[in-house]
Amino acid sequence: MNVVLRAPRYAGVGLVWAWRLTFGALFPTTCKYEPSCSEYAIQAMRKHGILKGGALAGWRLLRCNPWSHGGHDPVR
């Protein structure tokens, strides 16, 4: 795909990394899902672009609550 078209998703992945290195590292947690929420966000955005991938990541974050069971949950 065109680099220009892919630029937004790289930006999205960059944002996730920025999160990981700053605030995410300050409040160390392990995710109950595998891959973890941030890894899931990166994979989802790489695969589906920033809009759909971002939405998928957002939905995953909502699922990653204390009332869910976690587990293996890859990007489809």
Partner 1 sequence: MMHPLLATVPVFSQLEDVMKHALHFFHASLGLPWAWAIVATTAVVRMLLVPLMIRQLHSMQSLQQHAPEMKRIQQKFKHDKQKQNEELMKFYRENKINPAASCLPMLLQFPVFIALYYTLRHFNTNFLCTTPLAANASKAATAHWNAACNATVQHTDLSFLHFIPSIADSATAHWGGYVLLVVYVASQMASGLFMATTAQKSQRVIFMLMPLMFVFVIARFPAGLTLYWVTTNLWVVGQGLITRRLVQRTPAPAPEKRSSRTAPKDDDGTSGNGALPEPAAPKPAPAATSQPRQVRRKKSSGRRR
Give the interface with partner 1 as residue ranges (CB under 8 A): 23, 25-34, 36-37, 61-62, 64-72
| CB-side neighbour CA atoms (13 Å) of 51 | 1
Other CB atoms within 10 Å distance of the CB of residue 7: 11
CB-nearer residue toward partner 1: 3 or 25: 25
Minimum distance from residue 47 beta carbon to partner 1 (Å): 19
Give the C-alpha separation, 36 to 30, whole Å: 8
Minimum distance from residue 3 beta carbon to partner 1 (Å): 27
C-alpha 34, offset from chain centre: 11
CB-nearer residue toward partner 1: 2 or 36: 36
Minimum distance from residue 65 beta carbon to partner 1 (Å): 5
